[in-house]
Structure 1
């Protein structure tokens, strides 16, 4: 029986991962900021008496390293050392770069990058000490290609690929595996909030891949982690982006750049 820590576990992909792991007999710790949603998720997972004893919800903000460390100490005191981390916490706030204030940009970087780094840091030393462990980082298809209106989100999700690559080299031969996945649009509460804010030029690119339900995405992630896959892709389109992202970016920029170019007023003529 493994102890699995799931950040962003109160909804979406994180909750779906937790449900599947719980069904296979694992002990699950859910971490999320919103205490109400966290309690609701814990109740949903704890329908059977035996399962209720294997689920713990601990409120914490992944951007707060100290609070996250306290949460990890609390859950390890109950369930023992953490065998697996699913770093699913993330946010997205679509807007053109010139229209988005710095606070919104910084918030996405803080949660999506620093939050993941804090999560890994909270479990990795103990995993290395035991000589075993699995770390799964949830990036996005937006971590493979630039998307208009998603400058902050793309920045954060691209960064996770570099983090995962460096971690794999640092943990090579240690018994700790590091996987990163790049899901497409996934049918989650966050997706429902995001979609009305999505610029049409972004939809022209992202709408080519149909949204996938969270249960399916979670199953693919867990199967890839069990096989120690370095990168986990979803379907032919995203797999090709994973391998040929720079070429695809050039093509998309050439095709869509002129059509959706930001129009600016001509500068006033000199007096």
Structure 2
């Protein structure tokens, strides 16, 4: 039976993925910081499947020791990890000089190093077994820098580079690495993010309806099945991923003009 480990699995995309894999009869291990949310997620999943196939661990992915120990307990419970999906992430929009160093670093530690810590915990075993799949969850903000998202974009761009380099190392050993770039998605974190999103960022990003967590999760799971490396959502992010170096000069020119107009109207 497939063992799927999902960081950030207590809500949003992570929980949607857990529901998807539970419907397939997989063993699911969920990791997140907040134990009550994990227990609530366990209860939700248990209603539609086998409660004994759901394992939860409270851990902070930014702490390498915590995440390593938590994943070891997951593998002790359900066997080696077959699929790792790193959904854990945080976003705190704000101008660079207004975001505290602690808040800036927290986004880097969680979004980038949290994923790296999780990968490190399963990678050696996957290589030894010559089997395993890893999906790193980046963001559309990992394809183009967004006004007010200096920390978040930095962490998600870096995750893409990590995925590209690791893919080359892992491929000869039978381990498949993937990275996805979700758009705005209906999650509890997205609601909190909107409260702090700068007007300039809102204008630049436009009034595009957010995707549902289930729609994003379904595309991620299908990409894992097919062994795809990069996963985009919608034609805009696909174009950025495929033709970003050509399109970004024009986009940045347009962004600059929009930002200037907002500044003049204040």
Above 0.5 in TM-score?
yes
* Displaced runs of 4 or more, over 2 A: 207-210, 246-249, 261-264
Secondary structure at 2:173 match in 1: coil
Gaps of 5+ in 1: 265-271
User: In 1, distance between residues paired with 2:79 and 2:238?
Assistant: 37
Distance change (3 Å), C-alpha of 1:258 and 1:98? farther
User: In 2, distance between residues paired with 1:202 and 1:215?
Assistant: 25
More helix by share: 2
The residue number in structure 1 matching 2:46 is 46
The residue number in structure 2 matching 1:21 is 21
Distance change (3 Å), C-alpha of 1:103 and 1:262? farther
The residue number in structure 1 matching 2:244 is 245
What is the aligned-residue RMSD (CA, Å)?
Answer: 1.5
**TM-score, L = length of structure 2:** 0.95
The residue number in structure 2 matching 1:158 is 157
User: In 1, distance between residues paired with 2:159 and 2:208?
Assistant: 22
Distance change (3 Å), C-alpha of 1:227 and 1:98? same
**TM-score, L = length of structure 1:** 0.94
What are the superposed Cα offsets for residues 232-261 of structure 1, whole Å, 9 maximum, x if unpaired? 011111100101223332222211214424
- Mean alpha-carbon deviation: is it higher for 254-263 or for 160-169? 254-263
The residue number in structure 1 matching 2:144 is 145
8 Å contact from structure 2 (residues 204, 258) kept in 1: no
8 Å contact from structure 2 (residues 203, 258) kept in 1: no
The residue number in structure 1 matching 2:254 is 255
8 Å contact from structure 2 (residues 86, 115) kept in 1: yes
Deviation at 1:137, TM superposition (A): 0.5
User: In 2, distance between residues paired with 1:158 and 1:106?
Assistant: 15
8 Å contact from structure 1 (residues 182, 232) kept in 2: yes
User: In 1, distance between residues paired with 2:101 and 2:247?
Assistant: 29
The residue number in structure 1 matching 2:167 is 168
Secondary structure at 1:257 match in 2: helix
The residue number in structure 2 matching 1:81 is 80
Bigger Rg, which one:
1
Secondary structure at 2:183 match in 1: coil
Does 2:59 align with 1:57? no
The residue number in structure 2 matching 1:6 is 6
Deviation at 1:9, TM superposition (A): 0.2
User: In 2, distance between residues paired with 1:245 and 1:129?
Assistant: 36
